[in-house]
Structures are given as structure tokens and as C-alpha cells.
Amino acid sequence: MKKLVIDGQRFLNEDGAQVILNGINLVCKDKAKGYVEPCDAALFAWFREQGFNVVRLGLIWDGVEPEPGVYDDAYLGRIKQQVVWAEQNDLYVFLDMHQDLYSVHYGDGAPAWATLSDDLPHVTGHIWSDAYLESPAVNRALDHFWRNASASDGIGLQDHYAAMWKHAAQFMADCPNIIGYDMMNEPYPGTSGQEVLGIIIAAYAGHVMGIADPDMEQLAGLWFDEEKRLEVLAGMAEMDTYRILVDSAREVSQIFEREVLAPFFNKIAAAIRSVSPDGFLMLETSYFSNMGIESGLQLVQDSAGQTLHHQVFAPHGYDLVVDTEHYDIYNQDRVDLIFATHRKVQERLNVPALVGEWGAFSQHPATFQLSRQIIAILERYLWSNTYWCWCEGFKEAPYAKALNRAYPQATAGALSAYRYDHDNGSLSIDFVSSVGETLIYHPHLASISRSDVAVAGTDAYQIELRPFPDSQSGILAITVPDQGNKITVTIRGDVKGATTTWQAFQ
């Protein structure tokens, strides 16, 4: 597979073509399954046929290091087999050290020996993530982790975590398709997260309810009551109001990212880079940025204070109704705001963006259209992404049909815009040409002929259709010998037997 590098806000392959990474999460959180999704090479072949070219592949700390300083290489070997299957199907991989609610005691992630909760009680809510805000045990365990408290062997928890990452990265070092390392899934601040919540509640009370001196405990209870939560969400539906709420908590949320998360990333990056010098460092925001609070994320630095190369902004984005069936109150304006805020952060950092998680949709029919709307955002910003996530029933899900779309996987030149029209199956791509092949994935390549492809901006070009074996999908390769030309490629779609042309960006 072609090696990837980073140039400003773009991924490039070794030929200099601009790459869009479009993929899926494969993360097994189930200890009973050994934290490895049961599958074989056929799943990765199917991923390729669907147009995916990258997998965010989950590791679980409890699986890697079940006892202090003891690594389970058999577990890593099973994960490595999936990496090999991915490579056999031209899929890049980046490893995700996954956690939810920090620990196996409460969700997944840290082993029991690394969970120091001081015997505080664990509280769950109507939605699993409510425990971040409600559970004293979860928050105390996180506090100890962020303070690098000592495990039973006298070694700090973060020091264990860094050594564990180094071992995992070394174990996978001979896998050429591994491009990067997602150092921690959705870092949550611990007890200081209560301050973020409190500021948002106070802003909500003042701007929505008109209460100047609110009872904070009573108002917080509204969020944790499933029925009353819907009323709160209705109060957050107007974007002028929602901006006030998320902006009110920006500074306190960013303090965690600057003072706690940044040095943590520096430590973990140093451990990984000691065995993988060029691997991409995937930078996630604080948990609260998933809802639109602007991240204060900083680029990773070495011990001399120099910014490291090959870093990727890897935010997540979900509407507030995630993990529920309340698609009737799903708010696309909120989603637009969340991703527009991520865009602002990306431009400040000046690195590529790969949205590590979005979606988490159910089988609800509305998820087809909702997926299309988010894909339009990804296309507009020229972002890479990995959908959350592969699961039982994925192939039959409405959203899966939206994910299966045509797009430029590698563009010989500078990609300026592209757009896939789900309604008629047409695709338009704008780029400034350079030497090499532009490779376009198309889900219906078997139904396309050369006459369906129009190339404007040059009279000299070659087209080659490369279908995948036993599949309707495949790669359309276009070679433009001229450099510096403004090229528009249009692939016509078929609607109910009628061929139509959809030309964008004119």
C-alpha cells in the first residue's frame, strides 16, 4: 500500500495525490469476546466493496495489559490478524485505544487494577453516558488517572498507559497499512466536568428559563429525567441560544485541554514515536467538544517544545439525541454548528481533519437522510471520516445505503470540491491537475461506461474502469497528462432508467 504523508490540511500518498480517507469503526467492547470482533477476511473485502479505505480499529487497555506490566500478546495477535486482512483489501488502519466511562467496572477501557475509585458509588442514568456526569466512582477514577496516581506496583497510571501504548505500537510496527494512533477515545475531564455542566446549566436557566439565581441541583435533575430532558432539548433548538450555552463553557473546558490533556498527549506521543517515528498522532478533543464547545486542543510537542510532524485533528460529532430513538427532535442546525466549530479548530491547527466518530444511528428510517446531511458536511470541508460503527445488522441499515457513495479516493492534484448526489447517483469533482492517476470509487461502476464520464478542462485524458471482482462497485481511474489545469469530472447517474447529468461548482 502507498505510504501516506501530511501536507498542511491534506493527506497525500507517496505519489503526491490527495487522499480522502472514508471508513468505519471496528471496535469490540465485549470482554466475553476477548475484545475482538468475530469476523474473517470476508468482512474487510466487503468494506472495500462499500468504498471504505480506512478502519478505526479498537484496542482496549484491559485487553492489552490485564495485569500491571503484563501484556497479552495473544490478544494483540488477534487484532493484528484484522490489520493484515485490512491490508489484503487495500484498507488503511489507525489504532484507537477505546474507553467509555474509563473502566471495565463501568463500561470499557482501563483494567480493574488501574481503576482507583476510593470505593465511591457508581451511578448509571437513562443513557450510558449520563454516568460521566452522575457517577462519583467514574469521576474519581478519572481524577486519579489524570493525576498519574500510582498503581499497586508504585508506577503511575499514565506511565503504565504510555508503556502499554509503546508495547502495542511496537507489536504492530511491521504492519505497513497502520497509519496512526488515536491515543484515547473521548477524553473526559473527571470531576472538573461537573464545572462545565454547571456553567451550561446556569446559562440555560438564565437565557431559556429567565432564572437569575437557579437551584443548580434541581435544574441538573431535568437532564437526567428522560421525559424532562426532551423539554430541555426543545429549549436548545434555537441556535442563537445554543451558541450562548456552549460558548459559556468554552474557557473551563479548554483549561482541561491545555493543562491536563496536552501534557498527557505529549507523554503518550513520545512513547509511540519511540517505536513508530512517522505514525500519525490522532488528536481527540475533550468529551464536551462533541456537543459543540470549541476545543482548545494544542498540537503535540516533544520534550524540547518543538511541534511534532504528522498530526491529525480527529474530533467526534453527535447531536444531543445520540443513543436514543428521538429522531423526531434531531436538530440538524445543532449538527451544523458542531462541525462548523470543529472546522474553526482545524483551521487554527492547520492539520488534516478525520472525524473519528459520527452517526451511531439505529435502524430508524430517518437515518438515511440524516447520514446524507452529515456526508454533505464532510464533502464540503473535504474531511476524512470513520462512521461509528460496524455492528450486527449494519448491512441492512438505512444509513448504510447512504454511506455507500461515490467519492475521489485519491486525486492527482489539489482537490477543491466534490459532491455526490444520492438522488440520481451522479458525482462531480473539481481539482487542479498534476501528474498521476485520480482514483474514484463508485458503488455502481458495473453500470458505468466511458460515455457516462465527462472531463472538462483538458482534451487529453484517459479513463480506465477497474471493477472489483464479483461486485457492482470498483474504481474509475482518470489520468490527465497536463499539470495545473482546472479540471471538472462529472459522472452521470441513472434515475429510473433516465440518464441525467448533474454538474456542480460552476
Q: Identify the weakest region by mean pLDDT among 139-143, 216-220, 235-239.
A: 216-220
Q: Give the integer Cα–Cα distance in Å for 311 and 410.
A: 20
Residues 287-319: pLDDT tens digits?
999 999 999 999 999 999 999 999 999 999 999
Residue 505 has pLDDT above 90, yes or no: no
Residue 232 lies in a domain: no
**82 and 160 belong to one structural domain:** yes
Name the domain boundary from 355, 377, 404: 404
Residue 494, pLDDT score = 67
**100 and 181 belong to one structural domain:** yes
Among 379, 303, 314, which residue's Cα sits nearest to residue 349?
A: 314
**355 and 488 belong to one structural domain:** no
Kindly state the cell numbers that stand for 229.
430532558
**350 and 493 belong to one structural domain:** no
Residue 500, pLDDT score = 31
Residue 173 has pLDDT above 70, yes or no: yes
DSSP string, 116-129: --TTPPP---SSTT
Q: What is the CA radius of gyration of the chain?
A: 23
**377 and 452 belong to one structural domain:** no
**Percentage of the chain surpassing pLDDT 70?**
97
**374 and 468 belong to one structural domain:** no
Q: Which domain holds residue 431?
A: 417-500
Residues 46-82: pLDDT tens digits?
999 999 999 999 999 999 999 999 999 999 999 999 9
Name the domain boundary from 352, 370, 404: 404
**33 and 146 belong to one structural domain:** yes
Among 107, 104, 125, which residue's Cα sits nearest to residue 115?
A: 104
How does strand 311-313 pair with strand 280-283? parallel
**488 and 367 belong to one structural domain:** no
- Here the CATH number for the domain that contains residue 142 is 3.20.20.80
Q: Give the integer Cα–Cα distance in Å for 402 and 373.
A: 10
Residue 203 lies in a domain: no
**46 and 184 belong to one structural domain:** yes
**179 and 302 belong to one structural domain:** yes
Q: Which amino acid is at 446?
A: A
Among 392, 374, 385, which residue's Cα sits nearest to residue 94?
A: 385
In the chain, the number of structural domains is 2
Residue 53 lies in a domain: yes
**346 and 434 belong to one structural domain:** no
Q: Give the integer Cα–Cα distance in Å for 339 and 386.
A: 15
CA-angle at 70, arms to 64 and 72, nearest 5°:
40
